[in-house]
Structure 1
Amino acid sequence: MKREKQSSGSRRKGDGTVGPAGGKPGGERPLRVRLSPRSTVEARISGLDDEGYGISCAENHGLRIAGGLPGDTVQAVIDHVAQRMAFGHVKKILVASPLRSRRPPCRESAHCLGCPLIAMNYCDQAEWKRQFVLRQLDAYRGLDGIELHPLLSPRRLTNYRTTVRLTIAGKYAEPYIGIFRRSSHDVVDLCDCPIHHHLVNRVVEVVRRGISRLKVPVYSPRNRVGLLRYLVVRVSEAEQKAMVVFVTARRSYNEIHHLARYVREQLPEVEVVAQNVNSSEGNVIMGPVDHFLTPKHHLTERIGEVSLMISPRSFLQVNRDGACLIYERVAEWARLTGRETVLDLYCGIGGIALTLARRARRVIGVEVVEAAVEDARRNARMNGISNCVFQAGDVAEQLEELAEDGEGVDVVVLNPPRKGCDEQVLRQVAALGPRTVLYVSCSPQTLARDLNLLKSLGYVCVEVQPVDMFPHTMHVENVARLEKVIKALDNTE
């Protein structure tokens, strides 16, 4: 049974119910309603915004309703009211949308709100995501003529997430391990999340029991007392083994040592346990140092053709099936013959670079995080790949050095964080003159922006492949293929 912990200062008061919003059938204007936190309103959902909120309106406010789907009529509780926008969540569905699944994979989605699309039929999810990408491309006049392929979906739509970072809250007698409820500071306890890998769910349950049995104090951000702050779990599907990282407010050996031993006794699949100390008051989950409580410090995952070592802070896609789809499409569109030099920017621990190395003459990977570069080098040795070089440093600075060295590059892979690429990086990539640029993006908005700039620099996007890395959420990844424009010589005098 899922439980919910309310943080201090958010206790429920008596709800005041106001009239309908969203307009009446026939195009009548929406009724004027007075909105305030914890009041309720009847709303007709007309669409979804880019963050997965249901769109509605009152006469004096736009409404964003978490859990609402287009075609729903709902009773919603208002969580927050701004000058022109109010945010809330569904309390009761009055008229269900035809997009709603009759058997959604999660019975608790209305309480959690972590997967905004999970109540939607999957075929409708796929079309919504494709249209979402299309809207971002259409925002730029210069991006017409791009072939947008149908969404590629992984074979599993549930139990795909192999890495989780969960908040620990409450007291040791009744700990909560989960995520913050959308638009609130309440922690939703995740007992058997249908998105998480089965082994992740088992680890969470064992840790919950261990905290209670061993009376491990849970950290309170308000009082700044206690020990346990976060639980990080990583699973290797290739090995069917798990890594557990306890993030604590201070270094305290005894409690974590006994909790680690309990977890490993109850769940032998846990092969790696570490303690990470984070005493900061910010939103960063992990501190700078890991203290391992097991002889083994990493797991090994296999994605497509390559094996990759997983450490507590290695960046690796949380959906192995989705990662395979991306790696395969990048390899296909690179059209390598064994004679090319490939530049992989923002290469992380080297997954794409090592996949392409078997088909290229040489691959150069660049990543700003030095620990990731060390992981990439170890991964190259583990896979027996010697034609892959990994360099640590700022991408713009590394590109400048390549240009100064006169390094010829045939294919460039861009895989930046959500904010996309800096303009300087894109200009430097274009200046290298590769025949093909492959852009892997986790943000359709910044992808469209960067494709538009690259077109002005002589690289035209030919096709985009959306990939559903996170089924049931609003996130969608994309692979874009750009080719260098060859200008015809003007022989006229």
Structure 2
Amino acid sequence: MTTRYRKREDNRNHRTATGQTVTLTITGFDDEGFGTTSHEGKKVLVAGALPGETVSIRVTHNGPRTMFGEAITILSPSPDRMASPSCTTSACSNCPLISMNYGAQLTLKRSLVEKEIRSFASLRAVPIDDVISSPRPLQYRNSAKLVVAGTFKSPIIGIYRRNSHNVVDISACPLHNPLINRVVAAAKEGIRKGKVPVYNPRTDTGILRYLVVRVSEHTGRAMAVFVTAQRSYNEIHHLAKFVRQAVPELDVAVQNVNTSEGNVILAPHDHFLTKDHAIIEELAGIRFSISPRSFFQVNSGSARIIYEKVREWSALTGNEKVVDLYCGIGGISLFLAPGAQEVHGIEYVDAAVADAERNARLNGIRNCSFEAGDAAELLEELVEEGTEPDVVIFNPPRKGCDRRVLEAAVNSGPGRMIYVSCSPATLARDLDILAGLGYQTREIQPVDMFPQTPHIENVALLVDARHARDDHGKTTSPQGRQHFTHKRRGASA
């Protein structure tokens, strides 16, 4: 046996096994909330540990390149660790920063943003502002999508533990609006008293699968969606009646039947158990009708901050045409409408556009139009029809924008663009693409939408660096806009 082979065999024999406990010092933090370090030549990700801490960890998985573990004992705590965190349910691990003091969280999140932005040469000089804190670091979530597990005698309502299918009960979650927790507590009691069969995915038996709760902070009213594996009207009707009696603020009760085997929570059709079908939320004077499947930011206070920042950077004078890409239920569009000449919202999801149109009517706003379809195609068609935007807003999902959407926005020639993003990585990627297409990022404002987690929203301001512009952002060069040559769908040649 050669010396090299013996060393390789010795290393394999001493390899840390899953379930083993080791002591490590945490050197960093990643964007998923894991403390990071290294051991045996591998990257180690530790749930529940903060940078600078020496911790005893239990190894939960040892892969070829990465080892996962959970903190068991904090041997040398970080000065940023709180002596009495707001939650001690370590099994949840979905709020990995909850043991860190809030000021340190904001500093950490800014560093995560800066890391992604500065990875591109085109963005290394872009100013990144300090993170604007959430008005509420706790009790900020206005909605919760929860799994129902266990049995009717002992129901569990909570979320999946990270990287598992084990459900952790979070019926008293400190991040939830207190009204959500009251609805959850009443639902558990109603399940027990009504002997409602809880769905078991392993045996495909039972009825109740999920509980979705939404709250209007402005009105203090709530909605509960009982997601079931079958229609089963009687059990759910009585459960909803029990919860409404226990929580009088519950105005909307819905049964959603989901027979699929996947992880999608809500199926397309709702069966309303109450006369009211929506709750009303209000942000800075704009009202929103929230239905069971409407998208609305989970943190109303931080959403208002983001909308106000977008309005500030739009610099509207009443004469501008605005295009809001990925407009959802019209939040930003309706916020900008009073200061704009016209606003065009574009969204891929038909139901969201229906909500946006309903919200425009609810607020008596008549200078907004909404259309469902491909963002790039619809923007190109608007330009062909003579709508050349002065401001383009991006508010895409976490994956960011397709390059074709970015190119269509650039070719429409706005004086400024504003990009709202929930992913620093895809934001940096897209800002770099836009820099290559002639739009310079002037400033990035992080906003804490998700306290106690590593996630962070950002608002970025971009201006057209290709052409001279007047005081209102209008192109003064005749080559300022690149017009499209393709035909509108269905148009004749």
- Give the alignment's TM-score, normalised by structure 1: 0.91
Asked if structure 2 preserves the Cα contact closer than 8 Å seen for 1:32 and 1:59, the reply is no
Task: Report if aligned partners of 2:439, 2:466 keep a CA contact under 8 Å in 1.
Answer: no
Secondary structure of the structure 2 residue equivalent to 1:176: strand
Structure 2's unaligned 5+ residue stretches are 1-10, 469-475, 478-493
Is the contact between residue 31 and residue 59 of structure 1 (CA under 8 Å) also seen in structure 2?
A: no
Q: 1:37 aligns with which of 5, 13, 18?
A: 18
Asked if 2 retains the 8 angstrom alpha-carbon contact of 1:179 and 1:188, the reply is: yes
Residues 176-187 of structure 1: pairs in structure 2 closer than 5 A: 176-187=156-167
Question: 1:175-196, CA deviations, whole angstroms, 9 ceiling, x for partnerless residues?
Answer: 1100111232211101311100
Structure 1 residue 32, shift from structure 2 partner: 9.4
Which amino acid in the other structure matches residue 45 of structure 1?
Answer: I
CA drift at 1:408:
1.2
Alignment length, in residue pairs? 460
**Partner in structure 2 of residue 59 of structure 1:** 40
Q: Which moved more, 1:71-80 or 1:188-197?
A: 71-80
3-state SS of 2:334 partner = helix
Counterpart of 2:381 (choices 378, 381, 401) is 401
Q: Deviations over 1:9-49 (max 9, x none)?
A: xxxxxxxxxxxxxxxxxxxxx99952333222222111111
- Tell me if 1:81 matches 2:67: no
Structure 2 SS opposite 1:291: strand
**Structure 1 residue aligned with 2:49:** 68
Match of 2:107 in 1: 127
Q: Please give the residue correspondences for 1:313-324 in structure 2 after superposition, counting only pairs within 5 Å.
A: 313-324=293-304
CA-CA distance at 1:409 after TM superposition: 0.6
Which one of the candidate residues 352, 355, 360 is aligned to 2:340? 360
- Would you say the 8 A contact 1:54–1:65 is kept in 2? yes
Instruction: Write the letter of the residue equivalent to 2:413.
Output: G
Report whether the alignment pairs 1:305 with 2:285. yes
Counterpart position of 1:50: 31
Task: Specify the alignment match of 2:418 in structure 1.
Answer: 438
Secondary structure of 1:152's match? coil
1:225 aligns with 2:201: no
Residues 159 and 167, structure 2, Cα contact 8 Å, conserved in 1: yes
Determine the C-alpha separation between the residues in 1 that align with 2:240 and 2:328: 29
**400-409 or 218-227, larger mean C-alpha shift:** 400-409
- Of 253, 257, 274, which aligns to 2:237? 257
Distance 1:81 1:312 in 2: 41
1:287 aligned residue: 267
Identify which range, 481-490 or 138-147, moves more after superposition. 481-490
Structure 2 CA distance for aligned equivalents of residues 345 and 183 of structure 1: 33
- What percentage of residue pairs aligned between the two structures are identical? 52
The residue type paired with residue 45 of structure 2 is R
The one-letter amino acid paired with 2:47 is A
- Kindly indicate whether residue 112 of structure 2 is the aligned counterpart of residue 100 of structure 1: no
Tell me the residue number matched to 2:490.
Answer: none
TM-score, structure 2 length as denominator? 0.91
Amino acid at match of 1:314: S
Alpha-carbon distance between aligned partners in 2 of 1:32 and 1:236, rounded to the nearest angstrom? 58
CA contact (8 A) 1:70 1:99 kept: no
The reply to whether residue 142 of structure 1 matches residue 122 of structure 2 is: yes
**Offset at residue 405 of structure 1 (A):** 1.7
Equivalent-residue separation in structure 2 for 1:151 and 1:50 (angstroms): 16
Instruction: Tell me the alpha carbon deviations over residues 424-470 of structure 1, each in whole angstroms, 9 at most, x when there is no partner.
Output: 00000000000010000000000000000001111100000000001
Residue deviations 1:137-163 (CA, integer Å, cap 9, x gap): 111001122111110012211000011
Q: Give 1:65's aligned amino acid.
A: V
Alignment of 1:385-396 (within 5 A): 385-396=365-376
Q: Is the 8 A contact 2:212 2:225 kept in 1?
A: yes
1:322-353 C-alpha deviation (Å, 9 max, x unpaired): 00100000000000000000000100110100
Structure 2: distance between partners of 1:404 and 1:31: 65
Tell me the residue number matched to 2:320: 340
Q: 1:480 aligns with which of 460, 478, 483?
A: 460
* Distance (whole Å) between structure 2 residues aligned to residue 61 and residue 184 of structure 1: 22
Distance of 1:427 and 1:304 partners within structure 2: 33
Give the root-mean-square deviation of aligned CA atoms: 1.6
Q: Does 1:234 align with 2:218?
A: no
Partner of 1:14: none
Worse-superposed segment, 185-194 or 327-336:
185-194
Aligned residues of 1:168 and 1:230 also touching (Cα < 8 A): yes
Whole-angstrom distance in 1 between the partners of 2:13 and 2:125:
44
Query: Residues 138, 32 of structure 1: CA spacing in aligned structure 2 closer, same or farther, 3 A cutoff?
Result: farther
Q: Name the amino acid aligned to 1:440.
A: V
Q: SS at the partner of 1:148?
A: coil
1:237–1:301 contact (8 Å) kept in structure 2 = yes
Deviation, structure 1 residue 123: 1.1
Distance 2:395 2:326 in 1: 5
Match of 1:418 in 2: 398
Decide whether aligned partners of structure 1 residues 40 and 487 sit closer, same or farther in structure 2, where only a CA change above 3 A counts.
same
Counterpart amino acid of residue 51 in structure 1: E
Asked whether the 8 Å contact 2:213–2:224 carries over to 1, the reply is yes
Q: Is contact 1:32-1:60 (8 Å) kept?
A: no
- Which residue in the other structure is 1:24 paired with? none
State the one-letter code of the partner of 1:425: V
Matched, 1:204 2:177: no
In the TM superposition, what is the alpha-carbon distance from 1:251 to its structure 2 partner? 1.1
CA distance in 2, matches of 1:472, 1:32: 40
Give the Cα–Cα distance (whole angstroms) in 1 for the partners of residues 78 and 303 of structure 2. Answer: 32
Q: 1:176-234 CA deviation, whole Å, 9 max, x = no partner?
A: 10011123221110131110000001111110111111110111111111111111000
- Aligned mates of 1:68, 1:376 — CA distance in 2: 42
Question: Cα deviation per residue 1:263-316 (whole Å; 9 max; x = unaligned)?
Answer: 011111100000111111111111111110001000000012310000000000
Q: CA deviation at 1:406?
A: 3.0
1:165 aligns to what SS in structure 2? strand
SS in 1 for 2:282: strand
Partner amino acid for 2:40? E
Partners of 2:407 and 2:182 in 1: CA distance: 48
Instruction: Spell out, residue by residue over 1:112-168, the C-alpha distance to the aligned partner (whole angstroms, 9 max, x if none).
Output: 111011111111110000011000011100112211111001221100001100111
SS of the residue 2:339 aligns to: coil
The yes-or-no answer on 1:272 pairing with 2:258 is no
Q: Which residue of 2 aligns with 1:471?
A: 451
- In structure 2, what is the Cα distance between the partners aligned to 1:138 and 1:319? 28
Q: Following the alignment from structure 1 to structure 2, what is the Cα–Cα distance between the partners of residues 242 and 358?
A: 29
Cα separation, 1, equivalents of 2:281 and 2:448: 20
Deviation at 1:487, TM superposition (A): 4.1
Alignment gaps of 5+ in structure 1: 1-29
Residue 60 of structure 1: how far off its partner (Å):
3.9
* Paired AA for residue 159 in structure 2: I
Query: Aligned partners of 2:22 and 2:248: how far apart in 1?
Result: 50
